[in-house]
Amino acid sequence: MKQYVISRILMTVEFIIIFVFIIFGINKGTFSVSSLSIALNTDYEKNLDSSIIKKNQSELYTQGIYNPLYSFTGDLTGYAGDCPLCSGYLACPPRTNVLKEGIYYNDKTYGTVRIVASSRNYPCGTIVRFKVNKLSSEPIYAIILDRGVGGNDIDLLVENEDFARKNVGRVRNTKFEVIREGWKK
């Protein structure tokens, strides 16, 4: 019984130390919730709390970071890294293997965003925002990290080709807002 009480006390002390580290780290600007999430769980994008993402995006919007530079209209389609002629590697640096890394990208400024392919009309690293009700009730933020699409069309990276066909298909005349052009800081 005595050992149990001692172990519970030690666990409580550890919890308090971690809690203090988090509170003081956030106040000093040296702590990143997303880096902690990555360290604790490599599949963190699957477990993200959407309210945290929305809050961060709202804060960035009020700071002018989420204001669109310009917009364009094109078709939205879906694709996956497992397509018959796909290698799984993206065309733009850092040339991520999406078969291993997944369909999300952690951008330094915009946080966790979806990955899309576009034509060379739009530079790698461009952040776009679009709303497609059949995919999400909220706007989707994505980064251009792949090529192979013509004109103003955008190809959304999804889990697999079957999902792309059944759930995305072709959404005509989608409005895309460019939030950041290329890798500009």
Higher pLDDT, 75 or 27: 75
Q: What is the distance between the alpha carbons of residues 168 and 175, in angstroms, rounded to a whole number?
A: 15
What is the band of 61 on the pLDDT scale with cuts at 50, 70, 90? low
Which CATH number is 67-180's, of 2.60.40.1220, 1.20.140.90, 1.10.540.10, 2.40.40.10? 2.40.40.10
In the chain, where are the structural domains located? 67-180
Residues 78-98: what's their mean pLDDT? Answer: 89
Higher pLDDT, 182 or 60: 182
Task: List Cβ neighbours of 150 (8 Å cut-off, separation of 6 or more).
Answer: 119
25-44 tens-digit pLDDT: 544 444 433 333 333 333 33
Structure-token pair, residue 37: 């999430």
**Secondary structure in 3-state letters for 13-71:** HHHHHHHHHHHHHHHHCCCCHHHHHHHHCCCHHHHCCHHHHHHHHHHHHHCCCCCCCEE
Q: Which of 78, 105, 101, 131 is nearest to 183 (CA)?
A: 105
On whether the CB atoms of residues 112 and 34 are closer than 8 A, the answer is yes
97-108 tens-digit pLDDT: 999 999 999 999
pLDDT score of 84: 78
| Tokens 């955008």 sit on residue | 154
